[in-house]
Structure 1
Amino acid sequence: MAPAPMGLNDTRALSCEGGKSPAAFELQASEQLAPTLEPSGGSLATPAPANATMTPHGVKRALGATPTFVLSDKKLKLEVKERELCVQETEDGNAEAVVIRRQRRLAVRSGSRSAALSPLNSASAEQIRQHLRDVRRELFLRPLLAIVSKLMFHKGNHGFFNVRVDPEVWNIPHYFEVVKHPMDLAIVKNKCLNLEYATADECADAIRLVFNNACLFNPPGHIVHESAAMLLKEFEADYAKYKAKAEAMTKRRDEHSCPFCLDNVCGMCNEKCINFEPPFVMCSGACRQRIKRHAVYYKTPDGQYHWCSKCFTSLPKELTIKVLPSTITDHEHPTPSTDNTLSKFALLKAKFMDELTEPWVQCDQCSGWVHQICALFNACENADEEEEVMYTCPLCRLEELDAEEKNNELGMSPMETSVEDFPVKVGKDLLGSHSPALKRRPFTKDFTRALGFDEQIEEKVFDYLTRVDLDAVDASTASSFVTSQNLQSCGVSRFMQKWVQQHLENLGEHEAAQSIVVKVVSSIKSSCHVSSVVRENFRSASQEFPQTIDYTSKVIFVFQMINGVEVCIFSMYVQEYDKYCQVPVNRNRTYIAYLDSLVYMRPRHVRTSLYHQILISYLASCKAKGYEYAHIWACPTTRGGDFIYWCHPSFQKNPGKERLLQWYLIMAKKAKELGVVFACDDLYKHGFELLEETLDTQLPPYFDGDYWPSEAERVAASPPKRGRKEANTAGVSSAKFRKKVSESVKSACESLFVIALQPTCAACKQLIVNAAYWRAINVDAYYCSKCQGAVAEAIAPASGQKAVLTKVAPANFAEACSNSKTEELEMSCPFLDCRPNMLKNCEEHHYQFDSFRRAKYSTMMLVYQIFSTQRSA
């Protein structure tokens, strides 16, 4: 397979010669080089043009590099070699036997497609068809989804058309007698998201049906009728613009030709060049805006800081910038940044011209070209192959599977099958085989050669093998495509997966339950540097922060198998501070540092509930291990920003602050009902409200990247107000500094959750860690075994009745807590151990999640990166 160098072959799925001028066609024909046959080896040799650089077959061309003109048709090479063998064998034996031998040999070799190159190589025909439908429908349904969203949030909608009409609620029992085909915009939106409409006109008809139903049931002059008529008119205008834009894009595609696509059209998506999202470059100046494409900007020599042309003019002649430390390994202690002085005139002028296109891969069977992302082709696995393997595009693969199914339906009676016909039938069957045993598979000749037989004996053994023998060889050397199921598991991942699967089973979503996989993909020892500002001001005679605080960083991914292809739908980065942490207040606490999700989970109506249960299952695993508190900073991402996944879908709305807070509060409420959570407080009440009184005995909890340490840095950097004299005494100054930080924490307290995983005794104020506790009926108070007797006696005289305390056994989450040594082993994947590295690497490798097609591909490559690291460990 040739993953990168664009050849001069025409794609077989969609011809684009009509959009090419005759002059361009003649130029391309003159540039095509005729292959010549070397006398010695019989392999193809192509004279390289003077201005082209020859690259070995299978090496991925760097994006943006000049395409080479070296031919890489392995199928043709094999045919030439087989032709030579046939000529030699014909001289020595029976011509008919030679033909049979050649057919069988080609049949087996045609099965050497490596399943490791793509999940579609081991997919069923229906799964490939579904993937093709998804790829093609997404192109026209995503713009229509924007139109639907516009209609749903239109001020003239009034909420009339966003939900299904309920005749009982609206007191219109005769509604279904008038409206025979009910429809609403929510259904249309879900069908667009699930890519269920086959054409754009089908989607448009559904939208029209929504408003036509409203006009049919409600008479003219009614507010619903008038609103429907107005929105229908606006939709028709928007749809006409969409059709005109689609036609213009089709015309532009037909006329497009560049060194990257060479006028070829992808047989999967019927498109030519598709650009990646440009790198995210943000101005380091006052505007803090993203630098637009084709804009001039200035950057430091190391490329860490960038300024747009507007902010550059206001920069001083001498700049003081923080030099960030280079990327550190997981086992090193982080080093603080240092200040460096740089002249303004030392900045480098640059122009943001990055326009990178998706790479291509050539099918060795039809010689057509498809996008690697469309075909889910793993170019990294292709580069790792020790031997050349045949790559078959999904279109050819689908034809083979359809032909095989047709042959199976026709069938053949054993009495009608002669011995002479059987070997040919074997060849046809193997050509259509979709066995997952396709990666680096040693064939029969490899086994005989290993035993030291000469070529004549090899051929005899090969000829007398039956079909069962060949299938046995295939099965014994099978190597299927790597999925998340092949990644390492631990007690936490198994517990979480079982938890969420059981939740989906309880909801009746049995198919969805079996499609979910939870994996801890990284678990490393790390440490955070405590800033000098915090160490100087948050200290007492008996308490102070150390320079670094150790913790265990974990990365948790959740995958879903959708129509035979995996998609990563949820991820989070957590920090676990065990009982040996240097800071006592940090012990047995976990910090949910980052959490991110995608909209591709199916079915959509259980998505929010599933994501709640994923987080609850993690909290339950922490509770089982004796952790006492979980901290969360609910901070909504900015528009266009990314937490974990690089490039979210444009139609995925980022939750605002209020919605995000409600999401966490609902999660905490559900967790409390399940016995996982006992209280939900805020950081101000938990660590800052009585800070001055408790500073001698307890410091506030400190986590890497948390809200209040960054606020302390901001307060320290802000200049004092005019006319105010600051006290010279260090103690007084530190007290005022702590007060400012505490006020900042108080202002943001609703976003700083402190979730109690263990109950606290209301009498002695001690935590009851994974032990039985007592509680009064209808009272949200808990008591330990030591205090429950005295509390009952104290309550009885005051109420005049005997107090009733109910004993409650702790929730049994023993499965999440394992003492096995294997559970404590570190799992490191440098690609994603640190969240900034994850985003940076995904950006550099173009692992984007802004479309369903790209989310499938990016998930495949993430799993490959993780598996490769685990395999080499």
Structure 2
Amino acid sequence: MATLYFDPKPIYCFCCGTSIRRNACYYYRREEEDTQNCFCTTCYKNTRGGIITFNGTTVSKTDLIKNKNDRECEEAWVQCSKCKSWQHHICALYNNTRDLDNSAEYLCLLCCLNENRNDVRVPYDAKDLPRTMLGDHIEGRLLKRLGQIERNKNPEVFVADNLSVRVVLSVDKHIEVKKQFLDIFEEDNYPAEFSYASKVILLFQKIDGVDVCLFAMYAQEFGSECGYPNQRSIYISYLDSVKYFRPEIHISARESLRTFVYHEILIGYLDFCKKRGFTTCYIWSCPPIKGDDYIFYCHPESQKTPKKNQLRHWYHSALRKAVEEDIVVGLSNLYDHFFLPTGKCESKVTAARLPYFDGDFWSDAAMDKASQIEQHTAGNREKMLKLIPNRSLKSMGLVNLSKETAKDILVMQKLRQTISPFKEDFIVVQLQYVCIHCHKVIECGKRWFCKECKIFQECERCHTADSHTSVKGEKHKLCEVLTGRILRDTTKEKDIIFNNGLFDTRYNFLSFCQRNRFQFDSLRRAKYSSMMILHFLSKPIGIICQVCCKPIVSKCYWKCGNCPEFTVCSACHIARGSKCHAHTLSETCSAALSSTGSEKLKQNTAVELLDVIKHASQCHSTQTQPCTYPNCLKIRKLFSHASRCTVRVSGGCQHCKKVWQAIALHSRNCRDSACRVPRCMSVTFTSFDLHSFFFL
């Protein structure tokens, strides 16, 4: 039997952010995991004195331990209860989280066949996940489009029944605009925060009887109730896939069936959003750095990381199809849309027109430029005025410049220079006709457009002439058309809300897969990882502590203002304080996790129970010298019973059940690699009745 090893967990330097190579040395804090908050050898040596300082955080070198990035982790095994043969967990699709004390019966596939058993090998099916209107719309449209492909040319195409599209996250959030961005403006009233709906869409395909997750997309929806300029806009934040789609065929000379299916998911999503009243979609076409992952952990070696032009071509190919179906009415880029004047007073170039999204490029770049300007001019507005060349003012359509707008215009001028070389990567998709001057949707009334320049649309308020001058300096005649009301009053939908901590952010999901080694680098591992993802989706795990990697069940927890995905439970914050994270943490209380009086009593009981378990595992009392610690003897008797019981949990023994549940509660809070509590590192947390524990 072959020994198989997982890919090593990626380790990054906490100071410079570079990846620590395999077999290279690094340093980590004594009280933390050896893959968390690490420092590369270069940063360690280049820092003078005994303290490493970065981002306002200081770490003493005496608190750091040297280690080598050479750890190997072997795939776990499971033994068949009948034939005693061994298989890898992954090969057997064995879910060890359902067997706390390793007492459950496991039969290999061969034994099941010999006994003519019809047991379901994989208990989780993607089709059993809750259905939503969005998921049904995308899936229904996808199956219809697959049905339109000619059967004679591609008889293998019709695998539609094996595909499932599901929305696994749909929750309302809000993003606060950073003060550095708000400080750019003096006159404009830019909103201090924006509300939006965060959504995650997954595609599953049943391969060899097992659902495999092949495609994932993160999107942010800013509805009609949101403030301008984010109002009625969508941001496609992340998109990822793994190359296991079946069959591997081409439906045309330039397009594979896999690409066709993934395009249809994106187009179906835009179609659904357009019908709900959204007007604009923003896409940042930015592929990951080679070796990095966006959503899925460990891609297959045969799947190459796309280059910028390849990914941009992929998006444009899908959007051109959407244009042919009248789902998309115009395509542009961020540079042409916001940084070029049109000659109208309503179309002034200002950062106040830029939308503000969670994780985007241009808002962070704008803040960086503003910070550089402040440092260079010491906040002096007159110095800022002198920094703007007249040529730049003319190209931006500006004549007179006041002190109040100097910083805004200077930021836009520098941001324009930054974006210009790769402006095509910032795609602006128009789902409704938008006036090129005032950037507002032409809901009703007269609309003027140019047959040559498809992006040119004019509303009745901004229309002044029957022709316009193109970018090439040519005069084009405008056509007039009467538009009826096209937008719904609200973009809100009456659909199921999913608040799943597993997919709350792409970082949460990626970290979860890395911690549990749910890899997608081979089909066998992709099957197992998808099975485990479906298992956790069937039992949502809520908000996860980024220190102990356990679900947060208390009312209050700690959150980082700079890193929205970083949350810490109260227990870890009490134990480590400021050492939990490089940035300042603030306490947050969740209404969903608020506790009543009885729940507080349970929490106090849980603390007492944890203390007893820890004490009992280290107690050396004898009959002649009995222990006086409350309930210690009772816990030790239960440990002894569990070690020799023949009925066990699988047979219905309630004593064993309570023991394993109590150990699971301890395991949830334990970070000691040398813990003496039996089976501490091999169990998972499950809820149980604390009050009845001591009354066995």
TM interval, shorter chain, is 0.5 to 0.7
Distance in 2 of aligned mates of 1:810 and 1:348: 66
Q: How much does 1:793 deviate?
A: 13
Q: Secondary structure at the match of 1:511?
A: coil
- Of 282, 298, 314 in structure 1, the residue corresponding to residue 12 of structure 2 is 282
Contact 1:672 1:678 in 2 (8 A): yes
Contact 1:491 1:818 in 2 (8 A): no
Contact 1:702 1:709 in 2 (8 A): yes
Q: Secondary structure at the match of 1:555?
A: strand
Q: How much does 1:608 deviate?
A: 1.2
Larger helix fraction of residues = 1
Q: How much does 1:362 deviate?
A: 1.1
- For 1:103-114, list aligned pairs within 5 A: none
Q: How much does 1:690 deviate?
A: 4.8
Q: Which amino acid aligns with 2:25?
A: V
Partner of 1:531: 178
1:392 equivalent to 2:107? Answer yes
Distance in 2 of aligned mates of 1:278 and 1:534: 39
Contact 1:644 1:838 in 2 (8 A): yes
- Of 525, 550, 568 in structure 2, the residue corresponding to residue 854 of structure 1 is 525
Partner of 2:73: 356
- For 1:762-781, list aligned pairs within 5 A: 767-768=441-442, 780=454
Contact 2:369 2:414 in 1 (8 A): yes
Give the TM-score normalised by structure 1.
Answer: 0.51
- Of 759, 763, 766 in structure 1, the residue corresponding to residue 433 of structure 2 is 759
- Of 38, 52, 59 in structure 2, the residue corresponding to residue 342 of structure 1 is 59
- Of 271, 274, 295 in structure 2, the residue corresponding to residue 644 of structure 1 is 295
- Of 165, 169, 193 in structure 2, the residue corresponding to residue 518 of structure 1 is 165
- The change in CA–CA distance for 1:686 and 1:734 in structure 2 (over 3 A counts) is closer
Distance in 2 of aligned mates of 1:773 and 1:486: 47
Partner of 1:658: 309
Contact 2:370 2:407 in 1 (8 A): no
Partner of 2:643: none
Give the TM-score normalised by structure 2.
Answer: 0.63
Distance in 1 of aligned mates of 2:295 and 2:284: 16
- Of 173, 183, 186 in structure 2, the residue corresponding to residue 540 of structure 1 is 186
Residue deviations 1:266-303 (CA, integer Å, cap 9, x gap): xxxxx2x21111110023455x5422334321134556
- Of 677, 695, 711 in structure 1, the residue corresponding to residue 365 of structure 2 is 711
Q: How much does 1:391 deviate?
A: 1.9
> 774-783 or 510-519, which moves further after superposition?
774-783
Residue deviations 1:224-249 (CA, integer Å, cap 9, x gap): xxxxxxxxxxxxxxxxxxxxxxxxxx
Contact 2:82 2:111 in 1 (8 A): yes
Distance in 2 of aligned mates of 1:314 and 1:793: 63
Partner of 1:422: none
Distance in 1 of aligned mates of 2:294 and 2:210: 24
Partner of 2:21: 292
Q: How much does 1:771 deviate?
A: 11
Q: Secondary structure at the match of 2:180?
A: helix
Partner of 1:615: 266
Contact 1:485 1:517 in 2 (8 A): yes
Distance in 1 of aligned mates of 2:290 and 2:510: 16
Contact 1:771 1:809 in 2 (8 A): yes
Distance in 2 of aligned mates of 1:786 and 1:302: 63
> 373-382 or 726-735, which moves further after superposition?
726-735
Q: Which amino acid aligns with 2:302?
A: F
Gaps of 5+ in 1: 1-264, 266-270, 323-338, 401-430, 439-479, 795-801
- For 1:59-208, list aligned pairs within 5 A: none
Contact 2:323 2:329 in 1 (8 A): yes
- For 1:463-502, list aligned pairs within 5 A: 481-502=123-144
Distance in 2 of aligned mates of 1:614 and 1:481: 27
Q: How much does 1:700 deviate?
A: 1.1
Q: How much does 1:727 deviate?
A: 6.4
Partner of 1:107: none
- For 1:414-813, list aligned pairs within 5 A: 431-434=115-118, 436=120, 481-507=123-149, 508=151, 511-537=158-184, 539-546=185-192, 548-581=193-226, 583-604=227-248, 605=250, 606-690=257-341, 694=348, 698-715=352-369, 728-729=380-381, 731=404, 732-733=406-407, 735-760=409-434, 767-768=441-442, 780=454
Q: Secondary structure at the match of 2:511?
A: helix
Residue deviations 1:682-706 (CA, integer Å, cap 9, x gap): 1122233459964789431010110
Distance in 1 of aligned mates of 2:80 and 2:369: 60
Q: How much does 1:867 deviate?
A: 1.1
Q: How much does 1:719 deviate?
A: 9.4
Q: How much does 1:665 deviate?
A: 1.3
Contact 1:542 1:697 in 2 (8 A): no
- From the CA coordinates, give the structure whose radius of gyration is larger: 1
Distance in 2 of aligned mates of 1:434 and 1:695: 68
Distance in 1 of aligned mates of 2:12 and 2:467: 65
Q: Secondary structure at the match of 1:608?
A: helix
Distance in 2 of aligned mates of 1:278 and 1:706: 29
Q: Secondary structure at the match of 1:636?
A: coil
Q: How much does 1:351 deviate?
A: 2.8
Q: Secondary structure at the match of 1:585?
A: coil
Distance in 2 of aligned mates of 1:617 and 1:565: 25
Q: Which amino acid aligns with 1:646?
A: Y
Q: Secondary structure at the match of 1:711?
A: helix
Residue deviations 1:833-862 (CA, integer Å, cap 9, x gap): 111111111001110000111011101111
- Of 531, 534, 546 in structure 2, the residue corresponding to residue 863 of structure 1 is 534
- Of 504, 515, 529 in structure 2, the residue corresponding to residue 833 of structure 1 is 504
Distance in 2 of aligned mates of 1:550 and 1:792: 40
Q: Secondary structure at the match of 2:199?
A: strand
Larger strand fraction of residues = 2
Q: Which amino acid aligns with 2:517?
A: H
Q: Secondary structure at the match of 2:94?
A: coil
Q: Secondary structure at the match of 2:501?
A: coil
- For 1:224-303, list aligned pairs within 5 A: 265=1, 271=2, 273-286=3-16, 288-300=17-29, 302=32
Distance in 2 of aligned mates of 1:529 and 1:793: 42
Contact 1:772 1:808 in 2 (8 A): yes
Q: How much does 1:832 deviate?
A: 1.9
- The change in CA–CA distance for 1:574 and 1:695 in structure 2 (over 3 A counts) is same
Gaps of 5+ in 2: 251-256, 385-403, 469-476, 543-552, 554-591, 593-696
Contact 1:541 1:696 in 2 (8 A): no
Q: Secondary structure at the match of 1:488?
A: coil
Distance in 2 of aligned mates of 1:620 and 1:363: 50
- The change in CA–CA distance for 1:433 and 1:771 in structure 2 (over 3 A counts) is farther
Residue deviations 1:73-100 (CA, integer Å, cap 9, x gap): xxxxxxxxxxxxxxxxxxxxxxxxxxxx
Q: Secondary structure at the match of 1:586?
A: coil
Q: How much does 1:646 deviate?
A: 0.5
Distance in 1 of aligned mates of 2:368 and 2:453: 42
Distance in 2 of aligned mates of 1:384 and 1:481: 20
Q: How much does 1:613 deviate?
A: 1.1
Residue deviations 1:551-605 (CA, integer Å, cap 9, x gap): 1111111111122111111101111111122x31101111000000111011223
Contact 2:25 2:67 in 1 (8 A): yes
Distance in 2 of aligned mates of 1:775 and 1:720: 42
Q: How much does 1:528 deviate?
A: 2.5
Q: Which amino acid aligns with 2:128?
A: N
Identity of aligned residues (%): 31
Partner of 1:842: 513
Distance in 1 of aligned mates of 2:356 and 2:439: 22
Q: How much does 1:515 deviate?
A: 1.4
RMSD: 4.0
Distance in 2 of aligned mates of 1:289 and 1:755: 34
Distance in 1 of aligned mates of 2:158 and 2:519: 27
